[in-house]
Amino acid sequence: MSQVRCIGFDADDTLWHNENIFEEVHGRYCELLSRHHDADTVRRALYATEMRNLGLYGYGIKGFMLSSIETAIELTGGSLSVNELRELIALGRGMLDHPVELLDGAEEVLGNLAPAYRLLLITKGDLRDQERKLAKSGIAKHFHGVDIVSEKDARTYERVLRRHEVEPSRFLMVGNSIKSDILPILALGGSGVHVPYRITWHHEHSEKPPASEGRFFEAESLLDLPEIVERWLGVPGNQVD
């Protein structure tokens, strides 16, 4: 296994905006079904459908849209009109065509870290859509490797790190989700940096990890990352050889 220090990055809501797109579509979706149910009922029903279908469709916009259509059919008792169906499909196409908007500091921080560390992009979601966003982002050049996975758990991270020949103890994962980006890595003996996004999908909510001195860090934004990396390297056992 390589002794090189490696830093992994989540993509959605860590390097570029994503959940705000879903937030906007949720609002328009509730408006579309407002003559049938109130917004809270629509949101609860949609989330329940998404969770029920997650094992089949996985994460991403396409799975979300299939679940939204299914929910709309259920909530309207099968009376969803052709025009309403067209509007739902248009919402999904709009999400897939949405411009990729980087978070503040993403380009700068990656450019500063790439010469000194191996950088990996580890994200879950629809393969084609994630590849599209990465290509449009302009930041693909900074990464040594890219892994688009169906789930982000300890087993998946272990497989990814083994393929890239990275020891978990020499790996730092950066992401907005405690559940997906931090807890699995800490369980493997690695380190994590939590960079919260202003919105967190309910499925990704999690308690903060237990005390992991020198292995768990919190940042207000990506711009804090270079200083946190220095702190990480200063922890006994993490110094560069």
Q: What is the pLDDT of residues 175-191, one digit of tens each?
A: 999 999 999 999 999 99
Does residue 133 share a domain with residue 113?
A: yes
Region label for 195, one of left (φ > 0), alpha (ψ between -120 and 50) or beta (otherwise): beta
Average pLDDT over residues 36-42: 92
DSSP one-letter string for 74-142: HHTTT---HHHHHHHHHHHHHHHTPPP-BPTTHHHHHHHHTTTSEEEEEEES-HHHHHHHHHHHT-GGG
Does residue 23 share a domain with residue 12?
A: no
3-state secondary structure at position 9: strand
Q: What is the pLDDT of residue 55?
A: 87
CA distances from 32 to 47, 67, 68, 76 (A): 16, 15, 11, 11
Reported as a single tens digit per residue, the pLDDT across 82-116 is: 998 999 999 999 999 999 999 999 999 999 999 99
Whether the pLDDT of residue 2 is over 50: the answer is no
Does residue 73 share a domain with residue 32?
A: yes
Does residue 223 share a domain with residue 113?
A: yes
Does residue 197 share a domain with residue 88?
A: no
Does residue 120 share a domain with residue 50?
A: no
Residue 27 lies in a domain: yes
Residue 240 lies in a domain: no
Element housing 191 (H / E): strand 191-194
Does residue 149 share a domain with residue 70?
A: no
Does residue 57 share a domain with residue 45?
A: yes
Whether the pLDDT of residue 1 is over 50: the answer is no
Whether the pLDDT of residue 69 is over 90: the answer is yes
Does residue 166 share a domain with residue 74?
A: no
Residue 125: which domain range? 6-16+101-234
Does residue 121 share a domain with residue 68?
A: no
Between 104-108, 144-148, 237-241, the lowest mean confidence (pLDDT) is in 237-241
Interior angle at CA 126, CA 164 and CA 113, nearest 5: 40
Domain boundary at 81, 96, 111, which? 96
Is residue 176 a contact partner of residue 196, using CB atoms and an 8 Å limit? yes
- The count of structural domains within the chain is 2
Interior angle at CA 136, CA 130 and CA 142, nearest 5: 85
Q: What is the pLDDT of residue 132?
A: 94
Distance, first Cα to last Cα, the chain: 14
Q: What is the CATH number of the domain that holds 145?
A: 3.40.50.1000
Residue 221 lies in a domain: yes
Give the dihedral sign, CA 122/23/25/36.
positive
Mean pLDDT of the chain: 89
Interior angle at CA 77, CA 75 and CA 79, nearest 5: 105
